[in-house]
Amino acid sequence: MGSFPVLETERLRLRETRANDLDDLYHVYSDPEVTRYYNLDALTNLEQARQIIRRRQEALGRGHIRWALCLKEDDRYIGSCGLPFSLEYWRVAELGYELGREHWGKGLMTEAVRAVCHYAFETLGMQRLEAQVMPGNGASIRVLEKCGFRCEGLLRGRGFWNERSHDLLMFGLLRDDLG
């Protein structure tokens, strides 16, 4: 991949994660409410945040895009959204996202996910997007529904973290669903 694909929505700029996002990224991921439904413990030191930034930069070389979400007004990191795992051979990509708690409930993630879905279908040529969500994560389920995803069933024991298995709902959106 050449240069990082910057996307813009009404209120957001979706750009690459930069070294100077360190403090803002740490702020988001050190909040246990943000990581509650994630296979990730809340961060406890800046070195962990530095590793996330490094991993994102390396992953891009393998075609895995994770956008930093920033409000256009100040370009500061408030969350992320991306396609971290993909079955490119089948033109399927899995979506993941999170947002700093002070920005919840304003429709921002719905705005970001719509832009990422459009990019995945129109530019990357994906045919299907997937998202796996814990059944109790009502806000995330609602974001997916607003973006047109359908719940396709419960995958029993699909996730494993914190020493135990977790059931996950599978959501899917086909390129053809959008007409």
Ligand X SMILES: CC(C)(COP(=O)(O)OP(=O)(O)OC[C@H]1O[C@@H](n2cnc3c(N)ncnc32)[C@H](O)[C@@H]1OP(=O)(O)O)[C@@H](O)C(=O)NCCC(=O)NCCS
Q: Which residues bind ligand X (CB under 6 A)?
A: 34, 37-38, 97-99, 104-110, 133, 137-140, 142-143
Both structure tokens of 29: 């991921």
Q: Which is nearer to ligand X, 54 or 142 (CB)?
A: 142
Dist. CA 153–CA 135, nearest whole Å: 10
- Residue 3 CB, nearest approach to ligand X (Å): 27
- Residue 28 CB, nearest approach to ligand X (Å): 8
- Residue 87 CB, nearest approach to ligand X (Å): 18
- Residue 141 CB, nearest approach to ligand X (Å): 7
Q: Which is nearer to ligand X, 57 or 137 (CB)?
A: 137
Between strands 128-133 and 92-99, the pairing is: parallel
Both structure tokens of 162: 């914190």
Q: Which is nearer to ligand X, 80 or 121 (CB)?
A: 80
The alpha-helical segments, DSSP class H, found in 62-129 are 108-122
Dist. CA 119–CA 160, nearest whole Å: 30
Beta carbons of 130 and 92 less than 8 angstroms apart: yes
Task: Give kind and range of the element (H or E) at residue 35.
Answer: helix 32-35
- Which residue minimizes CB distance to ligand X? 138
Q: Which is nearer to ligand X, 85 or 104 (CB)?
A: 104
